[in-house]
Structure 1
Amino acid sequence: MLNRVNRVAVIGTGFVGSSYAFALLNQGIAEELVLIDLNAHKAEGDAMDLNHGLPFAPSYTKIWYGDYSECGKADIVVITAGANQKPAETRLDLVEKNTKIFKGIVEQILASGFDGIFLVATNPVDILTYAVWKFSGFPKERVIGSGTILDTARFRFLLGDYFNVDTRNVHAYIIGEHGDTELPVWSNANIAGTPITEWTKNREGYSRGDLNQIFLNVRDAAYHIIERKGATYYGIAMGLVRLTKALLENENSVLTVSAYLNGEYGHDDIYIGVPAIVNRNGIKQIVELDLNDQEKEKFAGSVQVLKNTMETVLKKY
């Protein structure tokens, strides 16, 4: 075990992949980081640029650009490759083009002898995570999507900002599709053990009516960012690094990832964003929140949207 080296392979060095690599280096989480991209010159340039920052990093990370054969010894393969979401385009609009891309990617990764954990970030992330699971034949515990990890972070940030409380002390989840049908779990949201709805009572300047607008800002955040700068990448990159740390360091942390449901929440045969305990083996356990009737109904609707979209695309493969 003393000689064990954690290797992370990143497939796709676009905005998200390169931001993830930069954040990973800054936190010193992996000993080895290999960058793989169809544009080898771009991957090589990123590797060079990141290496020049090593003197300022918290620990040494061996960084290089390579090809799919380098995945064979990787502990985690992070897939960020694929077509980007364009202005006015939904995440589900990307499903067909990216499913086709992913089939080829997974085949090449498997050819390397990879036997670690797949971490998927490309949109629509829930459907593409399901596709990776199907294409790879891996156990469901070792195929994980970024799910609503970023949506939950946005939710906690905006609630913390609204109530003037450190976002790290806000406990609230966004679950469901990483997209337009996601939902806030208000019934379980709290600050310091006090329900969020109670924080709006008897406090000047706060109202329950503002809470729905906060959620809408969370749900539509990607559209607002894409409209202004063309893409979102810093937030999701840091979310992926947080998940990578939890996996490599065997943390048993609870994070809202895209996980396979097999009866949990009353649904099955679907990857969707839910809280889950993650450790060195992948997803240890899905955490089933006690949803109220309205939340159950909305979650079921989110599941159905994903299943309807998957049915028309994945049957081609």
Structure 2
Amino acid sequence: MGTVTKIGIIGMGHVGAHVANSLVLQGIADELYMTEICSGEASRQAKLDAEVQDLGDSLAFCPHNVALVNCGEDYAQLAQCDVIVNAAGDVSLAATNRDGELFYTTDTAKRFIEPVTAAGFGGVWVTIANPCDVVATEIWKLSGIDSNRVVGTGTALDSSRLKYALSRVTGFDQHSISAYMLGEHGASMFAALSAVSFGGKPLSQLRAEQPERFGFDLAAVEDAARQGGYVTYAGKQCTEFAVADAACRLVRAIVSNEHYITACSTLMTGEYGEYGLFTSLPCVVGADGVEEVLHLDLTDAELDEFHASCAHVRENLGRVGLA
């Protein structure tokens, strides 16, 4: 028999439920442990029960069987998992402000970090809850786990939005484009336009050679990536598919030990002179989480944007006593 892959999810709202469904549909998990922040609220437990039932009803259509475990609020059960996905948030609080969930998500995280840690969790955290970089920093500090074993989805999603925007203006497939949004997953993120390439050819070179195709408005493309989430939210009051898929892509890279390169949130240990906080740079992701952080040759203007973004994360850390 092969190794059984166990994945835990904390929070089965819009995003957590889609993470669960995507893990099942892609055949990533053999056992799926699901929890909810119930606080004695029957409606929250009922929501969790409903999602577990719905997933079970779908198993006949999935690649292989998955054991579905309803853990209620017993977070300690997740300690046996290879990866825990933290999707505990309240997106309505961020309707007009990227930092709107700051106090809710950091307070909520305190409720599950300790019992999971005390139960001996030795796997990898993948955290989605926003502000992503602050919550990732909190999980690292309060759990005492190796920093590489905490991975924030960070700008993995925003980088996908950037590729989608570039695809729309050039006609090239997203998979053929290398492009990263960097910094915090929030308003201060920025596009590393100096590092964008199509099939390995730098965008700067293509703009000189084919101005009719590549002479598009760079600021407009960057803004499309930055504002994509609010376009989605305006229409359905949540974002769910893309961020769930970003998390599942990280989970797959971890359990398959892929050494996959993506932008994601990780601890700064001197990168561009930044220390002690999580934010997004291109990372190599494998079985132990973040294996390596890749350094891009950023322009002076991009470096200024990176430092400004880190300063905003640091400010939010101070607001919740984590600086």
Give TM-score, length-normalised by structure 2: 0.93
**Alignment partner, residue 73 of structure 1:** 80
Give yes or no for the alignment of 1:177 onto 2:184. Answer: yes
Match of 1:191 among 198, 206, 209: 198
Cα deviation, 1:43-62, whole Å, max 9, x if unaligned, reads 12111111111111112211
Which residue is 2:9 aligned to? 10
Distance 1:140 1:290, change over 3 A: same
1:224 alignment partner in structure 2: 231
Say whether residues 1:148 and 2:155 are aligned partners: yes
Secondary structure of residue in 2 paired with 1:13: coil
> CA offsets, 1:274-300, max 9 Å, x none?
111111111111111111111111101
* Alignment check: 8 A CA contact 1:197 1:208 kept: no
Greater alpha carbon shift after TM alignment, 248-257 vs 68-77: 68-77
In structure 2, do the counterparts of structure 1 residues 204 and 281 end up closer, same or farther at CA, with 3 Å as the change threshold?
closer
Question: Contact conserved, 2:169 with 2:216, CA < 8 A, in 1?
Answer: no
Please list, as runs of the form range in 1=range in 2, the aligned pairs for 1:117-266 lying within 5 A after superposition. 117-201=124-208, 203=210, 205-206=212-213, 208-266=215-273
Which amino acid counterpart does residue 29 of structure 1 have in structure 2?
A: I
Shift of 1:204: 6.9
User: 1:187-229 CA distances to partner (integer Å, 9 max, x unpaired)?
Assistant: 1101012222333445475453522101101101112211111
Identity %: 28
- State the partner residue of 2:51: 46
Gaps of 5+ in 2: 39-43
- Partners of 1:190 and 1:28 in 2: how far apart? 32
2:64 matched to which residue of 1? 59
**Structure 1 residues without counterparts, runs of 5 or longer:** none
**In the alignment, does 2:284 pair up with 1:277?**
yes
1:109 and 2:116 equivalent? yes
Three-state SS of the structure 2 residue aligned to 1:52 is: helix
Residues 94, 101 of structure 2: 8 Å contact kept: no
Between the two proteins, the alignment pairs up a number of residues equal to 315
Amino acid at match of 1:51: G
Moved more, 235-244 or 209-218: 209-218
Residue type at the aligned position of 2:253: A
**Contact kept in structure 2, 1:155 and 1:174, CA below 8 Å:** yes
Within 1, Cα distance between the matches of 2:245 and 2:182? Answer: 19
CA distance in 1, matches of 2:175, 2:284: 18
Aligned to 1:24: 23
| CA displacement 1:57-84 (0-9 Å, x = unmatched) | 1122111211313212111111101222
SS at match of 2:217: helix
Partners of 2:76 and 2:311 in 1: CA distance: 38
User: What's 1:84 paired with?
Assistant: 91
Alpha-carbon contact 2:154-2:264 (below 8 Å) kept: yes
Greater shift, 120-129 or 106-115, is seen at 106-115
| Corresponding residue of 2:104 | 97
SS at match of 1:105: helix
Supply the AA of the counterpart residue of 2:67.
K
Q: Which moved more, 1:140-149 or 1:44-53?
A: 44-53
TM-score, structure 1 as length reference: 0.95
Counterparts of 2:225 and 2:93, CA distance in 1 = 18
Instruction: Please report the RMSD computed on the Cα atoms of aligned residues, expressed in angstroms.
Output: 1.6
Runs of 4+ in 1 over 3 A off after TM superposition: 85-88, 197-209
Question: 8 Å contact 1:87–1:226 — kept in the other structure?
Answer: no
* Structure 1: distance between partners of 2:265 and 2:322: 21
Q: Distance in 1 between matches of 2:128 and 2:163?
A: 20
- Contact 2:94/2:100 (CA < 8 Å) preserved in 1? no
- Distance (Å, rounded) in 1 between the aligned partners of 2:76 and 2:154: 27
Task: Tell me which moved more, 167-176 or 188-197.
Answer: 188-197
- The 1:85/1:314 distance shift into structure 2, 3 A limit, reads farther
Q: Distance in 2 between matches of 1:315 and 1:272?
A: 15
> How far apart are the structure 1 equivalents of 2:117 and 2:106?
16
Aligned partner letter, 1:123: N
More off after superposition, 76-85 vs 171-180:
76-85
Distance in 2 (CA, whole Å) between partners of 1:274 and 1:121 is 16
Q: 1:87 to 1:136 in 2, by over 3 A?
A: closer
